[in-house]
Amino acid sequence: MKAVLGLEDGTFVIGKGFGVEGSCSGELVFTTQMTGYMEALTDPSYAGQILMFTYPLIGNYGVDVQNFESGRVHAQGCVAREICAAPTAQPSVARYFEDNGLLGISGIDTRRLTNKTRVNGTLRASLIVGDDDGEEAVRRARAVPDISELDLIGSVSCSAPYRLPGSGKRIAVIDLGLKRHILESLARRGADIHVFPYDATSGDIAACDPDALFISNGPGDPRRATDAIRCVRDLAGELPIIGICMGIQVAALALGAKTYKLKFGHRGTNQPVRYKDGGIYITTQNHGFAVDASTLPEGCEVSYTNVNDGTVEGFENRDLAITCVQFHPEAHGGPLDTEAHFFDRIYRRIP
């Protein structure tokens, strides 16, 4: 099939479509990971975005449903240099996209588009599969709202509370676009998990008598997570609070700090962070916003820092029992993974 990707700056590229005919629009963002392409595509944090892979070949081991981060693909569309036509397992990515009504484009210069994004910042984009009208793709890209104007969290959160029983500490989780492997990391430590929708109140949380509150990852601008921010504000000092990805931003906003949009975000499985003791960890990340360190209130300590650009990758407030990280410790970026380093530590701290 024909396909075209248009950008708001007037650029368009024509390639080969895969999946089904149709169109989609959103921010064009890139990830540097070499494997885990289906984990990325099924990450709810990619809602509202078109995901481009910098690694030139994806799909070589097919579609591994057992490692999905959620029940479906959340990225609006997929952009790749090449899709493997003969993977080691079936179904192929192309077949999965076709069977599930998804949109993708391949056969284009993703290196050029990545360099453009790094120089100019994240751009709005539109993907049309089944046509190669570049001018129409550009027009649609320019009509895309800024991601900060979109309410994306409600579309990826659970619709009702549910429980994953365990014999250990009771943890309330606010689902802003929760990744499955976060729940698995908590469950492996015996946690009794109570998951709540994005619009849960502090009263809803308190009713399950939790030992701690966990705030998940999610898509879009963290300032849109108004209910979760209110919950953290109400419960800070009453319960230990743990946050991952959007969770750190929600906790910071609840304490009166500010967040800002990164030029092109951090996405991939090879992002280096430095812990406060000097140790370096290679992490998995997916975020386009960050916490402004200079606005964190007294009592907060930056615990992790991004090695590449110095941005906040974690903070703690011991007085309020708040521990948050920007990266995803439940993901295994290697070679020195952060799952045990983070989850064992925070689980031990819960009374």
Provide the pairing of β-strand 162-164 with 103-106. unpaired
**Given 181, 266, 287, 328, the catalytic residue:** 328
Question: What's the pLDDT tens digit per position in 162-209?
Answer: 999 999 999 999 999 999 999 999 999 999 999 999 999 999 999 999
Q: Check if 330 is active-site.
A: yes
- Domains located in the chain, CATH noted: 2-144 (3.50.30.20), 153-349 (3.40.50.880)
Check residue 351 and give its pLDDT.
87
How far is residue 241's CA from residue 324's CA, in Å, rounded to a whole number? 8
**Given 245, 266, 287, 316, the catalytic residue:** 245
Q: Check if 181 is active-site.
A: no
Separation in Å, CA 222 to CA 32, 55, 81 = 23, 29, 31
Among the listed residues 138, 193, 147, 145, the one whose alpha carbon sits nearest the alpha carbon of residue 168: 193
Q: Check if 245 is active-site.
A: yes
Q: How far is CA 238 from the centre of its chain?
A: 28
Residue in the block written with tokens 């309410």: 151
Give the count of beta carbons closer than 10 Å to the beta carbon of residue 149: 10
pTM > 0.85: yes
Say whether pLDDT at 328 is over 90: yes
Question: What's the pLDDT tens digit per position in 252-305?
Answer: 999 999 999 999 999 999 899 999 999 999 999 999 999 999 999 999 999 999
Question: What's the pLDDT tens digit per position in 235-253?
Answer: 999 999 999 999 999 999 9
* Mean pLDDT to the nearest integer, 99-117: 98
Check residue 307 and give its pLDDT.
97
Check residue 341 and give its pLDDT.
84
User: How many helices, marked H, and strands, marked E, lie in the chain?
Assistant: 11, 19
